[in-house]
Structures are given as structure tokens and as C-alpha cells.
Amino acid sequence: MLSFFKDYKKFAVVFAIISVVILALIYNTLNVYQPLNIYQPAMVDEQLVDSTIQHQRKYHKIANFSLVNQNGKTITQDDYKDKIYVADFFFTTCQTICPIMTKNMADIQKEIKDDDEVMLLSHSVTPEIDTVAQLKRYAKEKGVIDSKWNLVTGDKKQIYELARKSYLAVKDFGDGGPFDMIHTENFMLIDKKRQIRGFYDGTNKDDIERLLNDIDILKEEDKQ
């Protein structure tokens, strides 16, 4: 009888070890690194994409740009070189979704303010109203940190083309006039290769949490 219990004890120990190993393997399999999508125009709602690129399925990147920020500084792609960044489209006089989007972008800023790899970029869709002085007032009011977050204005045609041909983020206004656009609540996550890696509802707190998590995934991807 004593021998039986000794044998049973050995079996129990071996079984426990094997169980731990199996559970660890299952956990690692379920939590294997999953890269984020690389979004192409053909993957996005056609309403948000210029008709000339709606069927493009590869090689999409954010185009070069030259715009002016809240301090009157010219901002180009070079200011975002080797950076992960979050982009959106807004206007300072918007009273609907923009205040919520700006508040959530400010919350992202708090999370990434000490992270040299990550920045923010907000484009005005009404550059004729959002002058440098107007953007500066808005930036001060919303707590924008100049080194982390650029609010940009400039040539309306360039902003329109960036919105619809690069970021795939706004709707055409139709008969509203040349280069008029209806911005959406979308935040776009851009990687260091100028590729779109995610779209998020900038008015939704759960999506903001998902965005912050995806930034961490991108940073891990860079280490691979």
C-alpha cells in the first residue's frame, strides 16, 4: 500500500509538470505576436478615398507635404522621419465631434509625452479660417505640447489631397466647391515607413485604448 502511494505521488508530480508545460505552450500560442494591418486604398470605404486610387492594393504611403503649424513653422515629412504618429483632420470652429476628438488626442499626448518615438499631427480642413494665430490660440486652450503635436494649416488643395489620397480620411463635399471636404472622426496610426496601420474612432474611448495598445505593437514590430 505504501509503495502505491509513493508511485502515485511520483505520477502526480510528473503530471503536474507536464500540465504546466502544456498550459504555457497554449498561452504562448494564443498570445503570439500579431502584426497590424498595412492599409491600402482598396481596403477602405470608397467614400473616403479619391477615385484615382480606390483600387490600389499595395505600396500605399503618406505623400510628402509642406504645411505650417501653430507657431508659424513649416512642417514637412522630415519632422516625422523615423516616428510613429497619430494623424487626424479637424477645424477649430467645429462644435460637434472636434472638441471630443481634440480632448482624446490630448489624452494620447499625455500618454506619449515622454516617448521620443511618437508624435501627433492634426490637419485643419478649413485653412482659410484656421490661420497660424487661430491655431496658436486653439493650441494654448487645448494644452498642446509643441514638441509633440503639430496643428497644421496651409494650401487647401494640398490638405484635400493628403486627406483623400494619403490618409484616406475625409469625404468629398460634392458641390461645396473645389477641394471642400467633410472630415470624419477617424484617427490614423502611421508607422515609421509612412504606412497606415490603423483607423480609430477619435470620439470613442475604447478605440483610443486600442490605438495606444497598437502603438506598443508597432514599437515591438520595430524591434523584430
Beta strands in 14-72 (DSSP E): 66-68
Q: In the structure grid, which three cell numbers stand for residue 23, read together?
A: 498550459
Residues contacting residue 171 through CB under 8 Å, at least 6 positions apart: 47, 48, 181, 182, 184
Tell me if 98 is assigned to a ligand binding site.
yes
Residues contacting residue 137 through CB under 8 Å, at least 6 positions apart: 92
Tell me if 94 is assigned to a ligand binding site.
yes
How far apart (Å, rounded) are the C-alpha atoms in residues 83 and 118? 6
**Cell 476628438 -> residue:** 101
How far apart (Å, rounded) are the C-alpha atoms in residues 144 and 150? 8
Q: Is 184 exposed, middle or buried (0-12, 13-18, 19+ CB in 10 A)?
A: buried
Cβ(153)–Cβ(129) under 8 Å?
Answer: no
Q: Which of 146, 105, 116 is nearest to 222 (CA)?
A: 116
Q: In the structure grid, which three cell numbers stand for residue 36, read together?
A: 497590424
Cβ(141)–Cβ(48) under 8 Å?
Answer: no
Rounded to the nearest 10 degrees, the angle between the axes of helix 205-223 and helix 98-112 is 40
Annotated binding site: which residue ranges? 94, 98, 183
Annotated binding site for Cu cation: which residue ranges? 94, 98, 183
